[in-house]
Amino acid sequence: MSITVLDPGPLTTVQDAGRLGYAAQGYRTCGAADSYAYRLGNALVGNTPGAAVLECTLRGAALRFEQDTIFALTGAESPAALDGTPVPYYAPLLAKAGSTLQMGMAAAGLRSYLAVGGGIATPPVLGSRSTDIKCHIGGAEGRKLAKGDSLPTGPCDTAALWQTIAVRQLGRPLRDARIRTAPHPVRVQDTQTLPLLRAVAGPQDAAFTADGLRTFTHGVYTLTPNCDRMACKLAGPAIAMKNGADILSDGIAAGSVQISADGQPIVMLADHQTTGGYAKIATVISADLPALAQLRPGQAVAFDFVTPAQAVQAARQQAQILQQVAARLQ
């Protein structure tokens, strides 16, 4: 059972929940940049939470399903058609053997996800199928997809699953915006409505002046063109430090907000390095990283501090939503 790549788009990779437990050996976590859209796609097709999917950046791929396949599209919505017939996002869909899916350019957002029943079954490397392009491991031989690639899919009783979807009338697209995208707050500042990225202070917040900390939570920061799966470099009011930006290199996590020597924030994403030598003013909470992963250069954000308990609560709220979607097929 497989999927054939007819047109990979500009950047399509295999991703899952990430390569966990190997940072000490220098391996990056990688995984889906928008973890919420990734998990929602798997929930819609009845997969286990860690199944691998395809992540498409800006423009989707063209694919041929070599056997009957149940699939779902999530994340940044683009025009999509199955054998020329438009299909929606956020719904489980059935592709018959030989059918072709064509995904277009995203109207808004940056990353789209294709989940299939049984998951993408490329060989795991260090416990994960996620593509790490810099290390050349995972996914399709450690690289982005290319025309002609054949992607194996995992076992799935497609007929039985589709029967369940039909009997329970689950084939309609999810309509509730609070379910389709990861819930996150906004801030109205001047004439702008900005995504508000909540962050836990530290671990080096003591390296910043009181004015610097205030600037971080009151300023407006714009995504620069220097944004990719590794990190987002932002531009805005400079954040003042007490004794410069450099520290002895220590561990980096997804969401870490490093402040470079020019006082500008850099937010780490899925492909972040394992260590870094800039002081970290805060860590964006996991519940808000999906919102950042969908922003394009030129869009703006704001930051605010929250407690670790509030960060855990936000993550649990998202998990509860996803569990409710997954429970429909259990």
DSSP 255-269: TEEEE-TTS-EEEE-
Fold for the domain defined by 186-322: Cyclophilin (2.40.100)
Of 6, 112, 14, 131, the closest CA to residue 59 belongs to 112
Residues 304 and 217: beta-carbon distance below 8 Å: yes
Q: What confidence tier does 37 reach under pLDDT thresholds 50, 70, 90?
A: very high
pLDDT, position 44: 98
Contact indicator for 49, 39 with CB cutoff of 8 Å: yes
Name which of 71-75, 172-176, 223-227 the model is least confident about: 172-176
- On the CB side of 75, CA atoms within 13 Å amount to 36
SS3 143: strand
**How confident is residue 303, by pLDDT bands cut at 50, 70 and 90?**
very high
Sketch the domain layout of the chain as residue ranges. 2-176, 186-322
Q: How far apart are CA 165 and CA 172, in angstroms?
A: 10
CB 118 within 8 A of CB 42: no
- At 330 the pLDDT is 84
Mean pLDDT of the chain: 96
CA distances 320 to 183, 278, 294, Å, are 12, 35, 22
Is pLDDT of 1 > 90? no
Average pLDDT value for residue range 298-303: 97
Average pLDDT over residues 282-306: 97
Which pair of structure tokens corresponds to residue 313? 């609560």
Residue 33 has pLDDT above 90, yes or no: yes
Q: At residue 314, what are phi and psi to the nearest 5 degrees?
A: -65, -40
**pLDDT given at position 189:** 83
pLDDT value at 119 more than 90: yes
| DSSP string for 147-212 | TT-EEEB----HHHHHHHHHHTT--SPP--HHHHS----EEEETTEEEEEEEEEE-SSGGGB-HHH
For the chain, the straight-line distance linking the first and the last C-alpha, in angstroms and rounded, comes to: 24
Per-residue burial over 299-309, b = 16 or more CB atoms within 10 Å of its CB, e = otherwise: ebbbbebbeee
Is 91 in contact with 171 (CB distance < 8 Å)?
yes
**Quick one: 20 exposed, middle or buried, by C-beta within 10 A (0-12, 13-18, 19+)?**
middle
Residue with tokens 């600037």: 215
Q: Taking residues 169-193, report their average pLDDT.
A: 90
pLDDT at 290 over 90: yes
How far apart CA 322 and CA 18 sit, in angstroms, is 18
Segment 249-259 shows an average pLDDT of: 96
pLDDT tens profile 41-65: 999 999 999 999 999 999 999 999 9
So what's the pLDDT on residue 182? Answer: 83
State yes or no: pLDDT of 164 exceeds 90: yes
Residue-wise pLDDT for 67-108, tens only, equals 999 999 999 999 999 999 999 999 999 999 999 999 999 999
Find the Cα–Cα–Cα–Cα dihedral 115, 131, 316, 297, rounded to 10°: -90
pLDDT of residue 24: 92
pTM, two decimal places: 0.96
Strands, sheet with 100-103, edge to edge from the N-terminal-most edge strand: 85-86, 80-82, 100-103, 62-65, 2-7, 150-152
pLDDT at 167 over 90: yes
More confident: 178 or 300: 300
